[in-house]
Chains A and B, each alone.
Chain A
Amino acid sequence: MTAEQAIFLFISFVILFSGYLMVTRANLVHSALFLVVALFGVAVIFVLLDAGFLAVVQVLVYIGAIAILMIFAVMLTRGNATEEQESVNTGYGWALLLSSLFAFALIVMLGQWQEIDALAPALSAERDTIVELGTALVSPDGYVIPFEVASVMLLAALIGALVVARPQKKGK
């Protein structure tokens, strides 16, 4: 076993275990903290996949913004999310069955695929994938239109979130 494999196994254990804790803990702030651990693990996986930029963006976007927003929302709606309350709904047995069936089906399907044990082709050392990614995002024969659409979508989400969450004026 190489060092990379050992790191991968350790990190995937961390991700799956904290993901498990996330979906089972009744205390929502704990759930959110375990979500942070899992997301950080995914960032490490990106590093293992030679996508350093994505790893950093993962930490910046998910931990710096999304997870903190989650914790903030949990605290704002705290009156109802106390620790003692039942955390799962009545149909959780079906959910368990369905998701384990789904995982089982995925693993079986993956096992039947021949190319699955492919090894990564080496990236040449001179290639600067960040420069390539940046060029791909803004060049006209690359992905400039999806990029612009994504930014418009983010703006729309920003305005939409503001409109939805704005407190209603009294008397209206």
Chain B
Amino acid sequence: MSFWQDPVNVIGEWIRSFLAGFLPEAWVTFLYTLLSVVIVASFGLIIVIFLIWLERKIAARFQDRLGPNRAGPFGLLQTFADMVKLVTKEDVIPEKADRLAFNIAPILSVVAVLLIWAVIPFASGWIGTDLNVGVLYIAAVGSFGILSVLMAGWSSNNKYALLGAFRAVAQLISYEVPMLITLMVPVLLARSMGMMEMVQDQDLWFIVLAPVSGLIFMVSSIAEIGRTPFDLLEAESEIVAGYHTEYTGMKFGMFFAAEFLHAFTIGVLFAILFLGGWRGPGAEEYRVLGVVYLMLKGLFGYFIVMWVRSTLPRIRIDHMLSFNWKFLTPLALTLLILTALVEKIFEGSAWRVPALLIGNVVVLVISFLIVRVVSRRTAKERVTFKKRPEARPA
């Protein structure tokens, strides 16, 4: 295997043999693992710097602005300037805050996202650890994110922060349900929960086999990261900044970075589960190409998140909950049952792909028809003006 085909493993082998020269075997494994962890984690943290710039640029274009353009070429250094600003700011901890939880929450929010990167297959043979329960692992570490939001909101000792945390928990726990159910559809199709096998099984991208599931995954993931239209947990016009109202300086920076990285991670997960991951022409041969493909597909998913964010207004909280429980969850369950049935009936037959595709379309059409009938039957709320008591000088 030459250097150009697989630079990471070649360099890795070289480091291994270098360390083995003067260290015992156990230490070599330990140091090598530590080094890999540091590399994967810092990859995630470094890419955030670029992502923040990208998002600001693209969001600006959506709003007919230029975006950051002063610091460095195309404003590329803007994020560094922001970082300097955040680091040098005073670190304020509210008087009655619960210090331990207050300080751990931002770290936990970054950790929750970085942990996902441990099972992301970057290219053929490049993966942090190929867990055989990779998909379940992703769902599990997501719960640390919920925990960090709850801790931040509670420990700030601020009613807006607490309200934000309550909303966040209601939203995140609810949207975890359809997300987990749709995650099972690619698992069924690939017949494995391992991320690497999932990618290797996608001779045909799963978005073709399960388009509606992909859509549900995207929607519930956007709710999971709390972005517009699901940004009720930090709705600035209602509850200041939600759970991170009291955070300043670098602690706020951590929440900020975690949110951006999480959004991109969602894009990458979408690419792995539905868009074939690192697969593409020549990716098996030259593994760096696989990383390029994965990042391009991930950025496409991220672009969708940004697109939705700059297009849709915020959803009302009761709409948010009923959309989840009355629409997404039943739809996701139906699709899971449909996929399981079709996979079993058409096992090994050429009709598998068209049957899945047609089944998805039929389910989507029927669910939209049901929604139409129901929404016609329910009486529309009339928004009326109520006379309020006038304020008069006493």
Tell me if chains A and B make direct contact, with any CB pair below 8 A. yes
Instruction: Name which residue of chain B comes closest to A2, CB basis.
Output: B26
Q: How far is the CA of A65 from the CA of B151 in the complex (A)?
A: 15
Question: Which of B141, B147, B162 has the most C-beta atoms of chain A within 10 angstroms of its own C-beta?
Answer: B147
B151 engages A64 (CB within 8 Å): no
A56 engages B26 (CB within 8 Å): no
Q: Which residues of A lie under 8 Å from residue B146 when comparing CB positions?
A: 64, 68
Looking at the assembled complex, report how far the CB atom of A71 sits from the nearest CB atom of chain B, in whole angstroms: 6
- Asked if B166 CB lies within 8 Å of chain A CBs, one says yes
A75 engages B140 (CB within 8 Å): no
Q: How far is the CA of A59 from the CA of B154 in the complex (A)?
A: 22
A53 engages B133 (CB within 8 Å): yes
Question: Which of A36, A60, A67, A128 has the most C-beta atoms of chain B within 10 angstroms of its own C-beta?
Answer: A60
Looking at the assembled complex, report how far the CB atom of A46 sits from the nearest CB atom of chain B, in whole angstroms: 12
- Asked if A72 CB lies within 8 Å of chain B CBs, one says yes
Instruction: Name which residue of chain B comes closest to A71, CB basis.
Output: B150
Proximity string of chain A (36-60) to chain B, C-beta cutoff 8 Å, 1 when within and 0 when not? 1000000000000000110011011
B147 engages A72 (CB within 8 Å): no
Q: Which residues of B lie under 8 Å from residue A128 when comparing CB positions?
A: 132
Proximity string of chain B (111-154) to chain A, C-beta cutoff 8 Å, 1 when within and 0 when not? 00000000000000000000111001101111110110011001
- Asked if B169 CB lies within 8 Å of chain A CBs, one says yes
A33 engages B140 (CB within 8 Å): no
Q: Which residues of B lie under 8 Å from residue A36 when comparing CB positions?
A: 147
Q: Which residues of A lie under 8 Å from residue B136 when comparing CB positions?
A: 53, 56-57, 60
B132 engages A56 (CB within 8 Å): no
Quick one: given A63-B143, A64-B140, A64-B176, are A72 and B169 in contact (CB under 8 Å)? Answer: yes
Q: How far is the CA of A64 from the CA of B179 in the complex (A)?
A: 14
Q: Which residues of B lie under 8 Å from residue A75 when comparing CB positions?
A: 154, 162, 166
Proximity string of chain B (303-334) to chain A, C-beta cutoff 8 Å, 1 when within and 0 when not? 00000000000000000000000000000000
- Asked if B272 CB lies within 8 Å of chain A CBs, one says no
Looking at the assembled complex, report how far the CB atom of B33 sits from the nearest CB atom of chain A, in whole angstroms: 11
Looking at the assembled complex, report how far the CB atom of A163 sits from the nearest CB atom of chain B, in whole angstroms: 17
Looking at the assembled complex, report how far the CB atom of B220 sits from the nearest CB atom of chain A, in whole angstroms: 15
Instruction: Name which residue of chain B comes closest to A67, CB basis.
Output: B147
A52 engages B133 (CB within 8 Å): yes
A contact patch SS: helix
- Asked if A29 CB lies within 8 Å of chain B CBs, one says yes
B143 engages A68 (CB within 8 Å): yes
Instruction: Name which residue of chain A comes closest to B173, CB basis.
Output: A68
Q: How far is the CA of A75 from the CA of B151 in the complex (A)?
A: 11
B133 engages A68 (CB within 8 Å): no
Proximity string of chain B (71-104) to chain A, C-beta cutoff 8 Å, 1 when within and 0 when not? 0000000000000000000000000001011000
- Asked if A130 CB lies within 8 Å of chain B CBs, one says yes
Looking at the assembled complex, report how far the CB atom of B243 sits from the nearest CB atom of chain A, in whole angstroms: 13
Q: How far is the CA of A68 from the CA of B147 in the complex (A)?
A: 7
Q: How far is the CA of A52 from the CA of B150 in the complex (A)?
A: 27
Looking at the assembled complex, report how far the CB atom of A167 sits from the nearest CB atom of chain B, in whole angstroms: 16
Q: How far is the CA of A120 from the CA of B324 in the complex (A)?
A: 46
Q: Which residues of B lie under 8 Å from residue A130 when comparing CB positions?
A: 132-133, 193
Looking at the assembled complex, report how far the CB atom of B143 sits from the nearest CB atom of chain A, in whole angstroms: 3
Q: How far is the CA of A13 from the CA of B166 in the complex (A)?
A: 33
B154 engages A29 (CB within 8 Å): yes
B150 engages A68 (CB within 8 Å): yes
- Asked if A3 CB lies within 8 Å of chain B CBs, one says yes
Q: How far is the CA of A67 from the CA of B144 in the complex (A)?
A: 11
A64 engages B133 (CB within 8 Å): no
A60 engages B143 (CB within 8 Å): yes
Quick one: given A3-B26, A52-B132, are A64 and B154 in contact (CB under 8 Å)? Answer: no
Q: How far is the CA of A63 from the CA of B142 in the complex (A)?
A: 10
Q: How far is the CA of A68 from the CA of B176 in the complex (A)?
A: 13
Question: Which of B101, B143, B162 has the most C-beta atoms of chain A within 10 angstroms of its own C-beta?
Answer: B143
Quick one: which of B150-168 are within 8 Å of A by CB? Answer: 150-151, 154, 162, 166
Proximity string of chain A (120-132) to chain B, C-beta cutoff 8 Å, 1 when within and 0 when not? 0000000010100
Q: Which residues of A lie under 8 Å from residue B173 when comparing CB positions?
A: 65, 68
Q: Which residues of B contact A (CB under 8 A)?
A: 26, 98, 100-101, 131-133, 136-137, 139-144, 146-147, 150-151, 154, 162, 166, 169, 173, 176, 193
Q: Which residues of A contact B (CB under 8 A)?
A: 3, 29-30, 33, 36, 52-53, 56-57, 59-60, 63-65, 67-68, 71-72, 75, 128, 130
Given A30-B101, A56-B131, 10 more A-B residue pairs with CB atoms under 8 Å apart are A29-B98, A29-B101, A33-B101, A56-B136, A57-B140, A59-B140, A59-B141, A71-B150, A72-B150, A75-B166
- A-B CB contact pairs (8 Å), 28 listed: A3-B26, A30-B98, A33-B151, A36-B147, A52-B132, A53-B133, A56-B137, A59-B140, A60-B136, A60-B139, A60-B140, A60-B143, A63-B140, A63-B144, A63-B147, A64-B140, A64-B143, A64-B176, A65-B173, A68-B150, A68-B169, A72-B150, A72-B166, A72-B169, A75-B154, A75-B166, A130-B133, A130-B193
